[in-house]
Structure 1
Amino acid sequence: MAVCCEKQEQTIAELTRNLNRLIEMIRLNNHRKYGASGDSVSYPDGMEQLNFFNEVEAAARQGRPEPTFEEVTAKTPRKPKQKGKREQDFKDLKVTVIEHELPAEQQVCPVCDSPLHDMKVEVTKTLKLVPAHFEIEEHRRHVYTCRACEKTQSEGDKIPFVRADMPNLPIPGSFATPELIAGIINTKYTNAVPLARIEQEFDRMDSVRISRQNMSNWILHCAEEYFSRIYTHMRGTLLSKEVLHADETWTKVVQQNGRESKKKCYIWVYCSGAHDEPIIYYEFHESRASESAKEFLKDYTGYLHTDGYEVYHRLDPGITVVGCLAHIKRKFTDAIKALSPEEQKKTVCFKGQEYCDYLFHIEKKYKDAEPEERHKKRLALLKPVMDAFLSWLKETKPLTVPKSQAYEAVNYALNQWPYFENILLDGRLELTNNLVERSIRPFTIGRKNWVTMKTDRGAHDSSIVYSIVQTALANGLKVYEYLVYLLKQMPNTDFNRYPELIEKFVPWSKKLPANCYKTKE
């Protein structure tokens, strides 16, 4: 009888755990669908964030004089309004001056009929939007010949023809100008507008009918003929860096190898570290398998920021993988979101959340420091908290219910710890992988609009264009002006004889014209 009761109690306990786990999953899914996004949580009453750490040693300033009573009780003055901000914002814009003057016959004093003189000018500045419109460029290339040769040449002899110089257009035989192609690329890849909507907008603007097929062909041609040279140079430059970030996201390709597919493929994104010139590199692969990362990183040695994806942990020994605190925190945040308000007050995940927040809090204090100084500060301030966090994780794991959200959060943090603690090796490293996640977001936003890619070729060429556009944005360039510059200059540059000239066209080049930058230097 006792054995039967014990088995019933075990069964009830197991069913209760399963029920609680299902309730957690339902609450978490509901929050993901209907709740606010983000990793921040509201702490219950009576629980102050960071309340279990003593900041006395970190905040103390030895020898600093005590504040006076007047300093303590004085009201904080309001920040004065910045003067000349509008002029600063408008300083690079074209100005059209419109004079408003009295006709000569009206420049008479209304009191004594004497002539009036121009005393001053009242200036009112307004901002005007000029919608995009189409214009025709008609290139008239003059061809010259010799009248004397025409008279003296025998029958069958060739008469010389000399043509005036004319710059090469981006696409031979096409009416597409650099400005038109750059506008289409900027609208699609910077503003995430599908080609179908661009086609409709052109028709509404000036009844210009350019099919999406034409636009797609122009983009593919420019990507393969011109942008691919910059893309290849970007890859070599990126792999020469000592700090990289990596992430990946899915996409769907409708046709593969000439057949209907709709297979889920992946865009892998790599970017340089925060202390190097910004380089963002998109690469298309048919899968999320480890071969994709291994092929790109086969000759790389250095630090690699990643999320918890296991593929990155199986790379060559010369690569030091650096974990992400944001992903560790997210697990604790999800566990908190999955619980009711009453249960939140009792969960251990608040402490895990607090540890993560405090690490961010410490890091923020020296975020502008040089790498060497940041490294020293981390060893002095960050490492003790990390050691305490690790001890807490080891102590807490046996106390949590297996397969629960809290257990998964603690277990995930322990599994990622060997990679996360590498943050202490170099001051150039970051606590999170957010740099590349922000770089991948423009693609995911665009994916919501265009949903799928048609072919592998299109996906590959889109990766090239995304790399150029996003790297240009990261370097403070005006994408449209930069693309116009590329499409005017690259078709007229002999890269076969002078391959080194590619360096003047990369987005971080110091030789770009001033109009390519958002603000003139």
Structure 2
Amino acid sequence: MREKLDIVPAQFRVLVTRRPKYACRACEEVVVQAPAPARLIEGGIPTEATVAQVLVSKYADHLPLYRQAQIYTRQGIDLDRSTLADWVGRAAWHLRPVHQRLLEHLKASSKLFADETTAPVLDPGRGKTKTGQLWAYARDDRPWQGADPPGVVYVYAPDRKSERPMAHLNSFVGVLQVDGYIGYRALAAGNSVSLAFCWSHVHRRFYELAAAGPAPIASEALRRIAEFYEIEDDIRGLTHEERRAVRQDKSRPIIDSLAPWLTEQLSLISQKTKLAEAIRYTISRWDGLIRFIDDGRIEIDSNTVERSIRPIALNRKNALFAGSDAGAEHWATIASLIETAKLNDVEPLAYLTDVITKIVNGHPNSQLDDLLPWAYAEKPETKPVA
């Protein structure tokens, strides 16, 4: 027996709905006809699955709408880019309540990651693009066996001001793990949010110095930081109590010796060098950098949310810019649901098709939790134990 892998290219098909009218001869002016099925695009041609395919191609596979239009033309279907853009906008409008509910769920967590990246947006009045921001808020408790499912939500804002995360996370109480951007510090002004900083950003600064040539101080800093990461590799997947115990035993001695060593090296070098800048960056964020030692829920870095930024960067590279502020908001809405679906091993096309279909058919807002991506995840099989 021999097997071969074959492919059947995707094909368009036309679905015809017939709704005959019935009249009663014995009655006066009584004509009955079944109601038309609900549709996302009233009077339009696409099914919900067709629109979902456009969304997944654009935001998961990073195919701009003009490229999708070219692909459809090769298949004999003439769909203008503006038509596809209208489908995206209508779908995003219907999906906004699910996006908002996803954000509310994440804000109810006790530990989140946050990051931001640029979102170029067309500015028609000036004939140029302006630089907006997509803020990303992520949760992933799997490294310490947390019960909450992973997720990420993006929120568009026209700038990078500190008011933005304060507004987005207005009810959040817990630990927020971030990079060194000072805009997050306003969140920690009260007692509700504690900031944990990222050792990966510290590592990057010393690595750039060591990679450029002989740099004994930077190389020694990298060696000590690498010891943290070796310990983290060994404890990933343990409970947060177990992680904290190992860190107290193995990581704390390294931390306790690193701070005075950095301070001593800073006193021996020129204060105008890149090395001095890297050391000051580390020392000025010390409390947030060592917070992971006493809390097993905290990661050593914010790479979790940085991984969630990569799909945004790919889409930005291929599409160049969003057509408007509204387009950037559509981007945030749909990308949030797609990336959260991927984090939960849910197939995005099937997920979006089902969610859009349910919303169009009047799914109640009181049951939005049923439409969140993790509600579609396969439940692990349970077996009775004697």
On whether the aligned pair clears a TM of 0.5, the verdict is: yes
TM class by shorter-chain length?
over 0.9
Question: Within 2, Cα distance between the matches of 1:407 and 1:474?
Answer: 39
Aligned to 2:332: 463
Question: Within 1, Cα distance between the matches of 2:73 and 2:61?
Answer: 19
Aligned to 1:182: 52
Query: 2:373 aligned with 1:507, yes or no?
Result: yes
Question: Within 1, Cα distance between the matches of 2:170 and 2:358?
Answer: 34
Aligned to 2:185: 313
Aligned to 1:417: 286
Query: 2:313 aligned with 1:444, yes or no?
Result: yes
Query: 2:270 aligned with 1:392, yes or no?
Result: no
1:191 pairs with one of 61, 84, 103: 61
Query: Cα offset for 1:413?
Result: 1.1
Aligned to 1:267: 134
Amino acid at match of 1:198: Q
Question: Within 2, Cα distance between the matches of 1:459 and 1:325?
Answer: 31
Query: Cα offset for 1:124?
Result: 2.5
Question: Within 1, Cα distance between the matches of 2:123 and 2:129?
Answer: 7
Query: Cα offset for 1:360?
Result: 0.4
2:170 pairs with one of 290, 298, 311: 298
Whether the 8 Å contact between 1:307 and 1:324 is mirrored in structure 2 is yes
Question: Within 1, Cα distance between the matches of 2:133 and 2:204?
Answer: 23
Aligned to 2:18: 140
Aligned to 1:244: 112
TM-score by length of 1: 0.69
1:353-396 Cα offsets, whole Å, 9 max, x none, are 00111110111111121111111111111111111111211111
Query: Cα offset for 1:173?
Result: 1.0
1:283 pairs with one of 155, 159, 162: 155
Question: Within 2, Cα distance between the matches of 1:378 and 1:513?
Answer: 33
Percent identical pairs in the alignment equals 28
Query: Cα offset for 1:253?
Result: 1.1
Whether the 8 Å contact between 1:189 and 1:466 is mirrored in structure 2 is yes
2:206 pairs with one of 332, 341, 345: 332
1:23-43 Cα offsets, whole Å, 9 max, x none, are xxxxxxxxxxxxxxxxxxxxx
Whether the 8 Å contact between 1:254 and 1:453 is mirrored in structure 2 is yes
Aligned to 1:48: none
Partner SS for 1:170: coil
Whether the 8 Å contact between 1:334 and 1:405 is mirrored in structure 2 is no
1:487 pairs with one of 348, 356, 362: 356
Amino acid at match of 2:96: S
Question: Within 1, Cα distance between the matches of 2:363 and 2:308?
Answer: 32
Between structure 1 and structure 2, the one with the greater Rg is 1
Structure 2 stretches lacking a partner, 5+ long: none
Amino acid at match of 2:58: K
Partner SS for 1:453: coil
Query: Cα offset for 1:463?
Result: 0.6
Question: Within 2, Cα distance between the matches of 1:387 and 1:284?
Answer: 40
Whether the 8 Å contact between 1:335 and 1:409 is mirrored in structure 2 is no
Query: Cα offset for 1:314?
Result: 2.0
Question: Within 2, Cα distance between the matches of 1:368 and 1:506?
Answer: 25
Whether the 8 Å contact between 1:472 and 1:479 is mirrored in structure 2 is yes
Amino acid at match of 2:32: V
Whether the 8 Å contact between 1:378 and 1:424 is mirrored in structure 2 is yes
Whether the 8 Å contact between 2:344 and 2:377 is mirrored in structure 1 is no
Query: Cα offset for 1:165?
Result: 4.9
* Root-mean-square deviation over aligned CA pairs: 1.8
Structure 1 stretches lacking a partner, 5+ long: 1-122, 154-158
Query: Cα offset for 1:191?
Result: 0.7
Aligned to 1:31: none
Which deviates the most, 191-200 or 400-409?
Answer: 400-409
Query: Cα offset for 1:125?
Result: 2.3
Aligned to 1:6: none
Query: Cα offset for 1:163?
Result: 2.1
Whether the 8 Å contact between 1:282 and 1:467 is mirrored in structure 2 is yes
Partner SS for 1:465: helix
Question: Within 1, Cα distance between the matches of 2:377 and 2:253?
Answer: 49
Question: Within 2, Cα distance between the matches of 1:395 and 1:462?
Answer: 48
Question: Within 2, Cα distance between the matches of 1:322 and 1:513?
Answer: 30
1:201 pairs with one of 64, 67, 71: 71
Query: Cα offset for 1:184?
Result: 0.8
Question: Within 2, Cα distance between the matches of 1:438 and 1:147?
Answer: 67
- CA spacing shift, 1:488–1:520, aligned 2, 3 Å: farther
